[in-house]
Amino acid sequence: MRDVSIIGIGQTIVGEHWDKSLRELGYYALAAALKDAKLARVDALYVGNAHSGALSDQENVGAMIADFAGLRGVEALKIEAAGASAAAAMRLGYIAVAGGLCDFVACVGVEKMTDQQPSTQESALAMSADGDYEAMQGLTTVSLNALLMRRYMHEYGYTKADFAPFAVNAHANAINNPFAMYRMNISPKQFAEAKPLADPISMFDSSPVADGAACVILAPSALAREFTDRPVRVRASAVATDTVGLHDRRDLLSLDGAAWSAQKAFAAAGVNPNDIDLFELHDGFTIMSALSLEAAGFAARGKGVELALNGEIRLGGRIPITTMGGMKARGNPAGASGLYQIVEAVEQLRGEAGANQVANARLAMTQNIGGSGATVVTSILERI
Amino acid sequence: MRDVSIIGIGQTIVGEHWDKSLRELGYYALAAALKDAKLARVDALYVGNAHSGALSDQENVGAMIADFAGLRGVEALKIEAAGASAAAAMRLGYIAVAGGLCDFVACVGVEKMTDQQPSTQESALAMSADGDYEAMQGLTTVSLNALLMRRYMHEYGYTKADFAPFAVNAHANAINNPFAMYRMNISPKQFAEAKPLADPISMFDSSPVADGAACVILAPSALAREFTDRPVRVRASAVATDTVGLHDRRDLLSLDGAAWSAQKAFAAAGVNPNDIDLFELHDGFTIMSALSLEAAGFAARGKGVELALNGEIRLGGRIPITTMGGMKARGNPAGASGLYQIVEAVEQLRGEAGANQVANARLAMTQNIGGSGATVVTSILERI
């Protein structure tokens, strides 16, 4: 197996891109990453996308973006794993480069959601849940997470206000990210007074639907320095799954899929949570942040919220998370978000995170979750 | 790179499975293939599917089938490449095993289409075309292929009746396939009198929408004989793309993507069309069969229909195609069809094709096409 590195990154601003089509968004991120890697062509293009069928009436997005980018003939496929689609695309790119079948692979995550009405968006997102046992009964992504959050509060004695630090921290960090959607501070008071979506989840617990695309270029580490003087090594890339329906989980408050995915990644990299300098976690909802911190080993069971309350998730804390704004404030273009996480981790490891730079960041971990814990992709990246 | 073999195959009957859900169909094929390989667990599950979002309101089908099959924790992802989704899933499984990242990978293709009204099915299928430039103008998969067929007839002087042998041959072969949807002969007269769908395409030019699932289990060839005494080696697996929109093609009557995909596969396998004993091609429409034979090098330009008229595509002919009924008569569950092709090729190479056995079949080629030539996956399989 070959060592793999990221030699280029690209991203579009996250927002409401009503004037740009799906293919344009994907292309802009791809073109930026190719330029960053000083590369004209790749051996394969793997595109992560969750909702192009339901929201843009378009499938075969792999071929479509290859076509628009002028990469005629190239191997190009779409990967779908709900909210984990983008990191899943990188996982398959990693396999192709690590195994020696490709030298250069572009992994794009792209999503275009805001052209549609909120009800259509919600229906599309609910396709990530269990259709027969959840969505058909009226459960949505928000209400499923509300059930988890309510159970968490009941089990461990937290109040809704205790979840504020996740959103406050994300917004504080987004201010310095030129690609973020909501570059403004929010206060704990604003968090407490936000409009409810599905109690106890209110507007600031939930990450906003958005349009955007992000891309990384993978190459064998042995070739990486021909293209960049700041390669970032992929120390580990792992996928694990759990049941799609929440009712079938071993334990509602343990994201087993996230734990298995993290354990696989730690084992492959030969590191543990204490070695990680920053953690771009899946903050689709504040409850997901808490459960992810616990599943990945950064907090004991029931202590994820406490970690946040103690300020340990901030820049300078024990384990900085959502360092460029996270899904909450950078915005959450579902099937693209996993590659935004990875692009931001690379910025940190390159020392290009500006005012949000995590000092001496050497090891970053990202975790991208699909379907409230059903599919979990963990990556561990290293400055070399 | 490791040599890769298929150690197990499974499939469901193709048809209208109104009593079985998407996850059940996928599971039945997976379970049959695992049983065939005498295997209890795999390292990864890659699921090809094109239309679960639009037709079943369900995404994250990788995790869902892993969950239903009791493969908790396993790496599981969905791959989408329109009608080429299933073979694309096998391509990624091949990469994982060849590169040494996984030992055992299950590749499932699954599609459930017949619960929906024809207009909904047609809208879903049109998502494989170019949304902005084709589908939005009212073009459907059928009408796009009708344009290609009309041009072909104009250019080379064929009549509509000349395309009959593709459908007649497919139906004749389906009679002996217990998994086929339409196990009955059709005559050239019935072909000529079939109801028009989009002139010149009529009902017997077009493959029927269907439900079904097929699966192969991949393993390193070095381990294959521990699981089966009839392993089938994957000599080549290749993907190439062309423009999604037909208006952007270099030449309407040359499927460049299919040609590049075939050339990559021939080069990887070190063989040429003369070495191939049977060709499971993408007969979604009779015109696709003709263009595929030409692009893959089995017929000269404009001579694909002549090859069929001369009887060379039949069992015992120069290059038998659709030997178990093809998409036309076995049925075409879009995102599953590519793995039906591969499963049927394996049956031939194992000598298990019964009355349809191609004598001394040693090398089989399959070609699965998404979006009227936009994404093309070619596999070359060998009896060892």
pLDDT band at residue A159 under the 50/70/90 scheme? very high
C-alpha B122/C-alpha B127 separation (Å) is 9
**Chain B within 8 Å of A241 (Cβ-Cβ)?**
yes
Alpha helices in B233-336 (DSSP H): 256-269, 286-295, 304-309
pLDDT band at residue A356 under the 50/70/90 scheme? very high
**Chain A within 8 Å of B63 (Cβ-Cβ)?**
yes
Could you read off the pLDDT of A275-284 as tens digits, one per residue?
A: 999 999 999 9
Residues B150-170 as b/e (b if ≥16 CB within 10 A, e otherwise) read bebbeebebebebbbbbbbbb
Please indicate, yes or no, whether residues B251 and B352 belong to a single structural domain of this protein.
yes
Please indicate, yes or no, whether residues B313 and B378 belong to a single structural domain of this protein.
yes
Number of domains in chain A: 2
Whether A180 is covered by a domain: the verdict is yes
> Which residue positions in chain B have pLDDT lower than 50?
none
Please indicate, yes or no, whether residues A41 and A82 belong to a single structural domain of this protein.
yes
Judging contacts by C-beta atoms under 8 Å, the chain B residues touching residue A99 are 1, 95-96, 98-101
**Cis amide leading into B273 (omega within 30):** no
Q: Smallest CA–CA separation between A243 and chain B, in Å?
A: 5
Neighbours of A124 (CB within 10 A): 23
What is the three-state SS of B90-156?
HHHHHHHHHCCCCCCEEEEEEECCCCCCHHHHHHHHHCCCCCCCCHHHCCCHHHHHHHHHHHHHHHH
Strand-pairing partners, residue B227, are: none
The pLDDT of residue B323:
98
Residue type, A108: V
Whether B123 is covered by a domain: the verdict is no
What's the average model confidence in pLDDT over A103-121?
Answer: 97
Q: List the single residue in A131, A132, A239 with the smallest CB-CB distance to B77.
A: A239
Please indicate, yes or no, whether residues B227 and B237 belong to a single structural domain of this protein.
no
């259509």: which residue's tokens? A120
Q: Smallest CA–CA separation between B383 and chain A, in Å?
A: 23
| Residue B69 near residue B358 (C-beta atoms within 8 A) | no
Q: Which of B46, B77, B107, B144 to mutate to test the interface with A (most CBs of A within 10 A)?
A: B77
User: Backbone phi, then psi, for A107, in 5-degree steps?
Assistant: -115, 115
Neighbours of B41 (CB within 10 A): 12
Please indicate, yes or no, whether residues A320 and A352 belong to a single structural domain of this protein.
yes
**Environment class of B133 (CB within 10 Å of its CB; exposed 0-12, middle 13-18, buried 19+):** middle
Q: List the single residue in A1, A128, A241 with the smallest CB-CB distance to B73.
A: A241
Among candidate residues A91, A156, A170, the one with its CA nearest the CA of residue A377: A91
Whether A124 is covered by a domain: the verdict is no
Whether A129 is covered by a domain: the verdict is no
Please indicate, yes or no, whether residues A188 and A306 belong to a single structural domain of this protein.
yes
Among candidate residues A261, A221, A228, A216, the one with its CA nearest the CA of residue A370: A261
Whether B300 is covered by a domain: the verdict is yes
Q: List the single residue in A92, A127, A257 with the smallest CB-CB distance to B92.
A: A92
Element (H, E) at A236: strand A232-241
pLDDT band at residue A172 under the 50/70/90 scheme? very high
What's the average model confidence in pLDDT over A200-225?
Answer: 98
Please indicate, yes or no, whether residues B221 and B237 belong to a single structural domain of this protein.
no
Please indicate, yes or no, whether residues A309 and A339 belong to a single structural domain of this protein.
yes
Q: Smallest CA–CA separation between A259 and chain B, in Å?
A: 10
Are A73 and B241 inside 8 Å of each other by CB?
yes
**Chain B within 8 Å of A96 (Cβ-Cβ)?**
yes
Element (H, E) at A189: helix A188-193
| Residue B59 near residue A82 (C-beta atoms within 8 A) | yes
| Residue A125 near residue A113 (C-beta atoms within 8 A) | no
Among chain A residues, the shortest Cα distance to B62 is held by: A81
Q: Average pLDDT, whole number, for chain A?
A: 98
Largest CA distance in chain A: 57
Whether A133 is covered by a domain: the verdict is no
For chain B, report the end-to-end CA distance as a whole number of angstroms. Answer: 18
pLDDT band at residue A353 under the 50/70/90 scheme? very high
Please indicate, yes or no, whether residues B271 and B163 belong to a single structural domain of this protein.
yes
Are B50 and A62 inside 8 Å of each other by CB?
no
Whether A346 is covered by a domain: the verdict is yes
The domain of B75 spans: 4-117+210-232
Please indicate, yes or no, whether residues A113 and A171 belong to a single structural domain of this protein.
no
Task: Give the CATH number of the domain where residue B278 resides.
Answer: 3.40.47.10
Name B268's Cβ contacts closer than 8 Å, sequence gap at least 6: B235, B236, B237, B238, B380
Among chain A residues, the shortest Cα distance to B96 is held by: A95
Whether A253 is covered by a domain: the verdict is yes
Are A79 and B77 inside 8 Å of each other by CB?
yes
User: Backbone phi, then psi, for B381, in 5-degree steps?
Assistant: -115, 150
Q: What is the ipTM of this complex?
A: 0.98
pTM of the complete model: 0.98
The pLDDT of residue B298:
98
Please indicate, yes or no, whether residues B64 and B23 belong to a single structural domain of this protein.
yes
**How big is chain B by its Cα radius of gyration, in Å?**
19
Residue type, A295: A
Q: What percent of chain A has pLDDT over 90?
A: 100
DSSP state of B332: B
C-alpha A96/C-alpha A45 separation (Å) is 11
Please indicate, yes or no, whether residues A217 and A331 belong to a single structural domain of this protein.
no
Q: Which of residues 279-318 of A touch B (CB under 8 A)?
A: none
> Taking each helix axis from N to C terminus, what angle separates B61-68 and B22-36, rounded to the nearest 10 degrees?
60
Q: Smallest CA–CA separation between B25 and chain A, in Å?
A: 14
Residue type, B340: Y
